[in-house]
């Protein structure tokens, strides 16, 4: 099974997302974070599931619309490790229309 490593900045991303959800009184804010974590856990068995991005990175699309997030990561096959680099709301990441 592929190992998953989170960059220190990912903790800050989770804090920012949670603060945003709480500020906007979103119901079940913690369950939204749990959904993101569960999606990232899928990378342990499917590290190449995300769409290709620049510089040998990949993007894992999680949910959609106001529930949508993107996890930026790099899979290093030689180490069999996924390095999660950032998590952003899809709208924050430039996916809003």
Residues of the chain with pLDDT under 50: 95-97
3-state secondary structure of 50: coil
Q: Is residue 95 part of a domain?
A: no
Q: Is residue 31 part of a domain?
A: yes
Cβ atoms 69, 87 nearer than 8 A: yes
Alpha-carbon separation of residue 85 from 40, 82, 88 (angstroms): 12, 9, 10
Note the pLDDT of residue 96. 45
Structurally, how many domains does the chain consist of? 1
- Between strands 69-76 and 3-6, the pairing is unpaired
Q: Which domain holds residue 77?
A: 3-89
pTM of the model: 0.89
Note the pLDDT of residue 94. 57
Q: Is residue 96 part of a domain?
A: no
* Domain CATH for 63: 3.30.2310.20
Note the pLDDT of residue 45. 98
Q: Is residue 24 part of a domain?
A: yes
Q: Is residue 97 part of a domain?
A: no
Note the pLDDT of residue 21. 87
């Amino acid at each position: 099974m592929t190992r998953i490593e989170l960059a220190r900045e990912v903790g800050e991303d989770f804090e920012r997302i949670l603060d945003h959800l709480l500020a906007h009184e979103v119901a079940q804010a913690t369950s939204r974070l749990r959904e993101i974590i569960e999606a990232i856990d899928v990378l342990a068995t499917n590290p190449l599931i995300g769409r290709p991005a620049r510089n040998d990175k990949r993007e894992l699309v999680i949910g959609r619309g106001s529930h949508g997030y993107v996890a930026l990561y790099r899979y290093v096959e030689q180490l069999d490790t996924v390095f999660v680099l950032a998590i952003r709301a899809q709208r924050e990441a430039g996916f809003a229309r």
